[in-house]
Amino acid sequence: MTDDQTQSGMAALSICEALLLALNDAKILPEDEIIGVLGDAASAHESAGGSDADVEMNKGAAALIRKIIAGGNSVRRR
């Protein structure tokens, strides 16, 4: 990955996490729905195919999403 791609990915992740927090704070999406959205995203990456490099990248993305779920980064756990 190039530095531009890495920076774009980091920015996108930060924006998405902020949006999920805002949706939860505004009581638009409850915590369990947010966890469901993140779980669906992880599952999509886990089942993605392609070249060996694509599969490895998707496994890494899924692992990162699972860490976000476990760490509670995108929800303010009570």
Residue 78 inside a domain? The answer is no
Number of domains in the chain: 1
Kindly list the averaged pLDDT for each block of 10 residues, start to end, along the chain of length 78. 86 93 95 95 96 94 93 66
- Give me the pLDDT at residue 4, please: 83
pLDDT of residue 21: 92
User: Could you list the residue range(s) of the whole structural domain that residue 36 is in?
Assistant: 3-71
Provide the whole-model pTM.
0.82
The answer to whether residue 76 is domain-embedded is no
What is the pLDDT at residue 5? 86
Using only C-alpha atoms, the chain has a radius of gyration, in whole angstroms, of 14
Q: Could you identify the residue written with the tokens 């966890």?
A: 35
Note whether residue 39 is domain-resident: yes
Residue 57 lies in a domain: yes
Q: Report the alpha-carbon distance of residue 18 to residue 54 in Å, rounded.
A: 27
Q: What is the largest CA-CA distance in the chain?
A: 41
Residue 43 near residue 58, CB atoms below 8 Å = no
